[in-house]
Structure 1
Amino acid sequence: NVFLVGIALNLVFVLAEAIAGMAYNSMALLTDAGHNLSDVASLVVSLVAFWIAKKQSSAAYTYGFKKTTVLAALTNAVILLVAIGILGYESITRLFHPQPVEGGVIAWVAAIGIIINSISAYLFFRQKGELNSRAAYLHLLADALVSVGVVIAGIAITYTKIYWIDPAIGLVIMVVILISTWGLLRDSFKMTIDAVPVGIELDAIKQVIKGVEHVTGVHHVHVWSISTTENALTAHVVVDENLSFEEKLKVIAAIKHQLEHQNIHHSTLELAKEVQLEG
């Protein structure tokens, strides 16, 4: 529902901003409309990924389609970077070749954009623990910042008639957006190549497992993301050989319980002997 509301609000604004940009020959509004359109596309990608992720696993896709949420987050980051590149190119071009624009119209239209993007960003801020919601939140927050810059540029142009102010502010905003996007790109890329998820320390996980009673060793520990909200683990665990098989199973259950508190939702543990772990 949050994604649908965000898509609807931003799509309406994109159409209004594009019409205003063409009517008043404002590259600032047209460029901002293009940026907002890329965000609408990103929200659609994320929404489709969530729908696909709900599909049940099969013989061919044993983990289901939850990984599509990771791919969607990576796609969102790339789309935003591409949008930044396009906006940066347009800003540099206009910096050397400024064109007269209606500063007042630019400021008013951009002010509406601030309101719409701020409302949308707040909706996703409440769910930003999930990577795609965080991506949407960053997209919309970036849009609000862009709109603030456009408002400032519009007011300044109205009173000074210095038209290079608009692209100059745009370049500053591009740097801010680039910094915020880099973290999203890094996290989603790490998830894509099955790196240890952000916020999880492998050594700490090993200590948690070793801390369970009757565990004497742990090896071959692997932790990765199976979606933007779920993590998995596999490990070889050495348990006191004096325990019965049923008691060893209870130790395994205790380990899994502890791992759930470490944000690891799916764990596969193999009982091993010390001699198997040597070398």
Structure 2
Amino acid sequence: MEHHHHHHHHHVEVGEHTTRLFVFCILLNLLFVGVEAGVGLWQHSLSLLSDAGHNLSDVFSLVLVLVAIRLAKVKSNRHFTYGYKKSTVLISLLNAIILLVAVGAIIIESIHKFAEPAEVNGAAVSWTAGTGIIINGLTALLLMRSQKSDLNVRGAFLHMVADTLVSVGVVISGIIISVTGWNIIDPIVSIIIAIVILFSTWNLLADSLRLSLDGLPEGINLDEIGEKLRSDSHVTDVHHVHVWAISTTENALTAHIVIDDIGCMEEVKERLKNLLEEEHIAHSTLEFETRESHCHAHDC
């Protein structure tokens, strides 16, 4: 039985562009948190102060993603043979949990407001939340392109979309309160927003949990991979196929490949590696065997 192992590295690298983008988004959002907290203190507005706190948790989530991007670039060593790539999966899981906690906080706060609706200065709230729509919306737009290829960026993107929605809700309730004086609108809008955030976070949580447990990464179909590997003219069988995520952007595979002529092994391996790269699997370890060795191993 021959055992060969080598790597082709063509992964989706999170570029310097994304890193700079995150630094910019963090600074932009920190500035906004400062302004919002200032106006909240000046106007004695509890909703603005709590929104500033919520936005601060977003800045924290952006910082976490930046940490994940940095950790993913750490070189492998004797104790961590893949480097710290898996930390990107754990951070996306943490981000999903933070979003769920935020949803819980919004719901509890809303229930409290139903019991005793607070006096709200509609105009001040609307203006500040309007600025929030611009800042959060801009951040979400900047992250939109990268979010399809990385679960972590998607987490940050969802945080920002959620925040933009919260700000839209605050503006609408601010306007309605200014016109009608119905303070009860505030918690109603909050609960609707919380439900919207919950739905978007659920998938992020499920994906993060699945990757944490070495489940099949999204977009990978095991049957299709098997078919592609078997499509090579020299391959007679494929078994023991395992696929898992090394990080939020890189996948790995191990498989046993039975071939009819061990002399063709190198060229078959080259072809199969290229096939796998097309399927977004950058790290593949293929173990080659012939029908005889396979039979011998299985005690035919």
TM tier relative to shorter chain: over 0.9
Q: Distance in 2 between matches of 1:274 and 1:56?
A: 37
Residues 243 and 11 from structure 1, CA distance in 2 versus in 1: closer, same or farther, beyond 3 angstroms?
same
Query: 1:11 aligns to what?
Result: 30
Tell me whether 1:172 sits opposite 2:188 in the alignment.
no
Tell me whether 1:84 sits opposite 2:108 in the alignment.
no
Tell me whether 1:109 sits opposite 2:106 in the alignment.
no
RMSD over equivalenced CA pairs, Å: 1.3
Task: Show the 5 A alignment for 1:49-60.
Answer: 49-60=68-79
Query: Secondary structure, in 3 states, of the residue corresponding to 1:100?
Result: coil
Asked if structure 2 preserves the Cα contact closer than 8 Å seen for 1:80 and 1:139, the reply is: yes
Q: Distance in 2 between matches of 1:167 and 1:187?
A: 31
Residues 213 and 278 from structure 1, CA distance in 2 versus in 1: closer, same or farther, beyond 3 angstroms?
farther
Query: 2:12 aligns to what?
Result: none
Counterpart of 2:255, as a letter, is: A
TM-score scaled by length of structure 2: 0.89
Query: 2:6 aligns to what?
Result: none
Q: Distance in 1 between matches of 2:37 and 2:115?
A: 24
Tell me whether 1:45 sits opposite 2:69 in the alignment.
no
Q: Distance in 2 between matches of 1:8 and 1:34?
A: 16
Tell me whether 1:271 sits opposite 2:273 in the alignment.
no
Superposition misfits of 4+ residues, deviation over 4 angstroms: none
Task: Show the 5 A alignment for 1:1-279.
Answer: 1-128=20-147, 129-240=149-260, 242-244=261-263, 247-272=264-289, 273-275=293-295, 276=297
Q: List per-residue Cα deviations over 1:157-182 (Å, max 9, x = no partner).
A: 11111111101100000000000011
Q: List per-residue Cα deviations over 1:64-107 (Å, max 9, x = no partner).
A: 11111111111111111111111111011001110111011100
Q: Distance in 2 between matches of 1:138 and 1:123?
A: 12
Q: List per-residue Cα deviations over 1:184-204 (Å, max 9, x = no partner).
A: 111111111110101111111
Query: Secondary structure, in 3 states, of the residue corresponding to 2:244?
Result: strand
Asked if structure 2 preserves the Cα contact closer than 8 Å seen for 1:31 and 1:87, the reply is: no
The answer to which of 21-30 and 209-218 deviates more is 21-30
Q: Distance in 1 between matches of 2:298 and 2:273?
A: 21
Counterpart of 2:35, as a letter, is: A
Answer 1 or 2: higher relative contact order, Cα 8 Å, separation at least 6.
2
- Consecutive unaligned residues in structure 1, runs of 5 or more: none
Post-superposition shift, 1:139? Answer: 0.7
Q: List per-residue Cα deviations over 1:13-56 (Å, max 9, x = no partner).
A: 11111222222222221222121111100111111121122111
Asked if structure 2 preserves the Cα contact closer than 8 Å seen for 1:206 and 1:218, the reply is: yes
Q: Name the count of aligned residue pairs.
A: 276
Q: Distance in 1 between matches of 2:279 and 2:232?
A: 14
- Consecutive unaligned residues in structure 2, runs of 5 or more: 1-19
Counterpart of 2:173, as a letter, is: A
Residues 277 and 11 from structure 1, CA distance in 2 versus in 1: closer, same or farther, beyond 3 angstroms?
farther
TM-score scaled by length of structure 1: 0.96
Q: Distance in 2 between matches of 1:29 and 1:174?
A: 17
